Amino acid sequence: MLAIDVKDLRKQFSVQKNREGLGGALKDLFKREYNQITAVKDISFQIPQGEICGYIGENGAGKSTTIKMLTGILVPTSGHIRVNGFIPHKEREKFVRGIGVVFGQRSQLWWDIGVIESFQLLRKVYRVPEAEFKKRLDELVERLQLSELLNRPVRKLSLGQRMRCELVASLLHNPSILFLDEPTIGLDIMVKTEIRDFLKKINKEQGTTILLTTHDLQDIEALCSRVIMLDDGRIIYDGGLDELKSRWSKGREIRFQFGERPDLDALRGLTEDLAGVAWALDDELTASMWLPHAVNVSDALARVVGGGADIRDIKIIETNTDEIVREIYQSGTASKEATEKLAQPSEHADKEPVHHG
């Protein structure tokens, strides 16, 4: 059985229009006009059990709206959803016992009571037998080192402490699917790492399926084998992280430092039969070589090194995911271009690399 199965899912919101001026306000009083906003536009995807999938996109892309439909908080305008075999907004009571949810910006814990009391309340909500609850709680508390926090009221916790408690709260009933909406937002690097390690472990040991939205690409790099990217309510990419990188990155850059001013024409001559390789002088003693993905790095390196120039240092500059995603988002025609690129991935590899300094 699939953990998540979504077909042609759509969500529209009606937003009241405010007409201009006093006349407009009076008109609004008698007859309201509405604008339709389509936040999620007929998306389909399937997530098998045990997968960790990143759900990314810029602000307003429709990520939270999707998660809210998947967790039964919002009713879809049209389309089909099955999560653990249930229709989330219809079979709520049975459904929620199989899922855990953490919204980084909102708490599921009660602000003024001790953490442990919140956990006890959640135990009752999810109807977890006492013995089972205790066993699980002990295990989670030990893993996330929460024992000293249990009696403190939530409002007294730091953000990092609170997030660790939120994770425990979402896992007390041993759900098979975990939905995380910005789980590491605002946390320092230590806590982020701790949370990522913890998530990796529970996924590995218990096979917990995890769908997470994040703006932090290190979360994705650390956790996700698969990424779904949303733009303006539509899926523009669904696949592996490595593939995402190679399809979108403009090639690799290798920077050479020389003992004397390099002869650019001679360097170009060494690589002239490698299609798409470009050279540029960075300063008196450094030059960069751009390689399209189709060209093998060691091939190109061997030619340059074999050319006899006085090379002092070589640095291969990796494209990082942040840059790729920023690049996609920034181009005004992101979705169109992206779809075209995806339709013809091989064409991309033949393009002249673009040197952007």
Ligand X SMILES: Nc1ncnc2c1ncn2[C@@H]1O[C@H](COP(=O)(O)OP(=O)(O)OP(=O)(O)O)[C@@H](O)[C@H]1O
Q: Which residues bind ligand X (CB under 6 A)?
A: 13, 15, 37, 39, 57, 59-65
Q: Which is nearer to ligand X, 13 or 111 (CB)?
A: 13
* CB-CB contact of 245 with 324 (8 Å): yes
State the minimum distance, in angstroms, from the CB of residue 65 to ligand X.
Answer: 3
State the minimum distance, in angstroms, from the CB of residue 280 to ligand X.
Answer: 37
**Cβ-Cβ contacts under 8 Å for 258 (sequence gap 6 or more):** 285, 286, 287, 309, 310, 311, 312
State the minimum distance, in angstroms, from the CB of residue 39 to ligand X.
Answer: 3
State the minimum distance, in angstroms, from the CB of residue 187 to ligand X.
Answer: 17
Residue 212 φ/ψ, nearest 5 degrees: -130, 140
Q: Which is nearer to ligand X, 232 or 323 (CB)?
A: 232
Q: Which is nearer to ligand X, 115 or 229 (CB)?
A: 229
State the minimum distance, in angstroms, from the CB of residue 58 to ligand X.
Answer: 7
Q: Which is nearer to ligand X, 77 or 176 (CB)?
A: 77
Distance CA 179, CA 209 (A): 9
Q: Which is nearer to ligand X, 48 or 60 (CB)?
A: 60
From the number of C-beta atoms within 10 Å of its C-beta (0-12, 13-18, 19+), residue 212 rates as buried
Q: List alpha helices for the chain, DSSP H.
A: 21-30, 63-70, 92-96, 115-126, 130-143, 159-171, 189-206, 217-223, 241-248, 264-270, 297-306, 321-330, 334-343, 345-350
> Secondary structure of the chain: what % helix, strand, coil (to 5)?
40, 25, 35
Distance CA 33, CA 179 (A): 35
Both tokens of 194, joined, read 């701790």
What's the number of CA atoms in the CB half-sphere (13 Å) around residue 31? Answer: 0
Q: Which is nearer to ligand X, 214 or 271 (CB)?
A: 214
**10 Å Cβ neighbour count for 63?**
24
**10 Å Cβ neighbour count for 265?**
8
Q: Which is nearer to ligand X, 11 or 303 (CB)?
A: 11
Distance CA 289, CA 277 (A): 7
Q: Which residues pair with 80 in a beta bridge?
A: 7
Three-state DSSP class for residue 86? strand
State the minimum distance, in angstroms, from the CB of residue 192 to ligand X.
Answer: 18
State the minimum distance, in angstroms, from the CB of residue 236 to ligand X.
Answer: 13
- Indicate the pairing of strand 52-56 with strand 234-240: unpaired
Q: Which is nearer to ligand X, 118 or 335 (CB)?
A: 335
State the minimum distance, in angstroms, from the CB of residue 167 to ligand X.
Answer: 20
Q: Which is nearer to ligand X, 178 or 202 (CB)?
A: 178
State the minimum distance, in angstroms, from the CB of residue 54 to ligand X.
Answer: 13
